[in-house]
Amino acid sequence: MKSKILLKSEGIKTMLLMLAFFMIQSCYSLKSAVIPPELNSFFVAEFDIRASNALPTLPQTFSDALRNKILNESRLVQSDIDPDISFSGEIMTYRISSVAPERGATSAFNRLEIAVNVKLENTKTEDQSWTKRFSFFENYDRNTNINDIQDELIDTIVAQLVEDIYNASFTSW
């Protein structure tokens, strides 16, 4: 009797383990760039600044990050002469605001938010062209001087924006 219960218990454990394995496997997926074979070249124009308080170096930082992402993670070559796909846009928002208010109307954190409008032009398949807005933010302690951490925050935000733009451009879901 005891051996039957033990076998039943082991069988249940095995089934639960297999079920957990299949559930985890079904939740995990690899995203991969899907670049049509007719696309061979790209161009990233330097983004314009529309946000009045953005750092003057931000357009160069952003454009370089997007350019490097495409160069390093796709087979496309950079070309400013008749590219198959091109990116242009504007930095629309560069905002520092207070978040997470505490009692007495003070905030625990400040937030740096950057938003960009991106235009992708696909000269080979025009219906694949689009214009989209992307934004991301990072919070930081209100007692920290923004000048001390601004470069680090910008790097983090730009990296996420570039990842989002790359995924919107080249990743099949």
Domain ranges of the chain: 1-30, 34-170
E strands, the chain, are: 41-44, 48-49, 77-78, 85-101, 107-122, 130-141
Which amino acid is it at 56? P
Q: What is the CA radius of gyration of the chain?
A: 24
What is the spatial distance between Cα 111 and Cα 67, in angstroms, rounded to a whole number? 27
Answer yes or no: are the C-beta atoms of 98 and 110 closer than 8 Å: yes
Answer yes or no: are the C-beta atoms of 2 and 139 closer than 8 Å: no
| Residues across the chain | 173
Tell if the pTM clears 0.85, that is, is over it: no
Per-residue model confidence (pLDDT) at position 108: 83
For residue 33, what is the DSSP state? Answer: B
Per-residue model confidence (pLDDT) at position 20: 45
Per-residue model confidence (pLDDT) at position 11: 55
State both tokens at 145.
Answer: 């001087």
The bridge status of strand 130-141 relative to strand 107-122 is: antiparallel
State both tokens at 5.
Answer: 């219960």
Per-residue model confidence (pLDDT) at position 27: 39
**34-170 under CATH 3.30.160.150, yes or no:** yes
Q: In sequence order, which residues have a C-beta less than 8 Å from that of residue 44 and are 6 or more positions away?
A: 63, 66, 67, 70, 78, 86, 87, 88
Per-residue model confidence (pLDDT) at position 99: 87
Could you read off the pLDDT tens digit of each residue along the chain, which spans 173 residues?
Answer: 555 555 555 655 555 444 444 444 433 334 467 888 999 999 999 999 999 999 999 999 999 999 999 999 999 999 999 999 999 999 999 999 988 676 666 778 999 999 999 999 999 999 999 999 999 999 999 999 999 999 999 999 999 999 999 999 998 64
